[in-house]
Chain A
Amino acid sequence: MPSDGTEESRVQRSCAGPPGPPLSDVAHLSLSIGRLFMEFGESARIVHEEIFALAHCLGCDSAEVYCQHAAIIVTLRRGEEFCVQMGKVGEHGVNLRGSEAVSDIARRVSRGDLEYSQAQTELDNIPRTTSFYPVWLVCLCTGLACSAFGRLLGADWLSFFPVLVASGVGQWIRRTMLVRKKNLFITTGIVSFVSAFLAGAGARLSGSSHLEIATVSAVLLLVPGVAVLNIQTDVIEGKPNLSAARGLRVIYILLFMTLGLVAAQALILRAI
């Protein structure tokens, strides 16, 4: 397998229907699928497999995909025709329901259940049509997850509730700032400081003796776990460039998270 993300089409998904759509439309559809997968937190392997299968089923003889952090390039061939298109990838996040919807559309096109033009419309609508959990539920569950992390790290029960509240508030601030398109790294630093400060102050007021663990647990919502695991997957599967870009971003997120945490700990722990 060639390195750096380029890979010849080898996945052969059985497909239905005669070939027909213009090559530029197939390339546009492929780019839309790849872009959404990247933005929804999938590894490069999924992007490559789905684009290869789709291109094959839409009559292409070969497909090449070059997957980078901020862009995707697709080259398709059909007989004497060939088409190269590049698309920009937006902010990387995690949205597993969105990812599942994209997979479903790609499969329906491959099986011949969905016309490519209709598929393009459905893909364009995914950001609007994908359902999300209510904000309060996301904040509550994020708080609960961080409190559970606290218990896993050995924090006492007295710090459970303060960590839950602090992480919930932190998630609400993060969501609010990211919806307003604020810088991701600045947001990370602010959320880390606020969450750690609230958790530490709450744990102190409730008489907990594990203030350090409480402050650390409250910021674990910021650890980009999916991105970290994608780095591993991409390296193992021969996409070092994409992996390096993801890694640099993860390092900066962790750095800003630690800065916020250290600042909050300096206030809370020094006051003891």
Chain B
Amino acid sequence: MNSFWIHIIHQAVFGGIASAGFGILFNCPPRIIIHCIGSGAMALAIRTGCQSANLNLPESAFFAALGVATAARVLQPFQETRGSIIALVGTIPMVPGSTAAKGLTNLFALLQARPGDEIAAATNGMRNLLEVTLTLAAIGTALAIPQSIYPEASPKAKPLRQKSSSP
């Protein structure tokens, strides 16, 4: 097995672990934690694959979120929980929190920058924050696409029981 696949598997495993951890933190029902692991692993595997194909972070996150949201929507008839929950928890590991922190840290560094270093500090900070904004927009848009094209029905709705108005 070459290093490419080892890297994909590594990212998928830890993406799954991160999703499961956040699933517990968000008080997900126990029966869907395994689905959260699967969706997190899938998201990170697709994102890593796309990044290996020289796509940038927002593009890769878009395709990963679209893949997870589509899978959750397609598999919706076979599960009780809303697919959007599973897709949401699966994409949480792709939210670029560390890049946002780095961007804000760079902006703080701007306050202490020596003359001549300000432009570099400002550029780094703005680049990080732009990347965060675009990545979040990409994830949010991708999550909304399957829902917009084919809205989710009530999960496993029972046949309607008509009440008689007469005694």
Contact = CB atoms under 8 A, between A and B. Distances in A.
Contacts, number: 154
B160 interface: yes
Contacts of B82: 100, 103
B60 interface: no
Given A232-B141, A232-B144, A233-B144, A96 B97 contact: no
Contacts of B165: 18
Given A18-B163, A226-B92, A229-B143, A151 B21 contact: no
A216 B101 contact: yes
B100 A95 contact: no
Given A17-B163, A148-B17, A258-B108, A111 B25 contact: no
Nearest to B152: A49
A232 B101 contact: no
B38 to A, nearest CB: 15
A41 B161 contact: no
A257 B24 contact: no
Nearest to A17: B163
Contact of B27 (A15, A132, A171, A258): A132
B140 A236 contact: yes
Nearest to A99: B85
A226 B88 contact: yes
A201 to B, nearest CB: 19
Given A225-B95, A229-B91, A236 B163 contact: no
Interface stretch (A72-80, A119-127, A138-146, A203-211): A138-146
Interface of A: 13-18, 41, 94-100, 103, 107, 111-113, 130, 132-133, 137-138, 141-146, 148-149, 151-153, 171, 216-217, 219-223, 225-226, 228-229, 231-233, 235-237, 254-255, 257-258, 261-262, 265
25 contacts: A96-B28, A96-B29, A100-B85, A111-B158, A111-B161, A133-B24, A143-B21, A144-B20, A145-B17, A146-B21, A148-B17, A148-B18, A152-B18, A152-B44, A153-B98, A171-B25, A220-B98, A226-B26, A231-B140, A232-B140, A232-B141, A235-B140, A258-B108, A261-B105, A265-B105
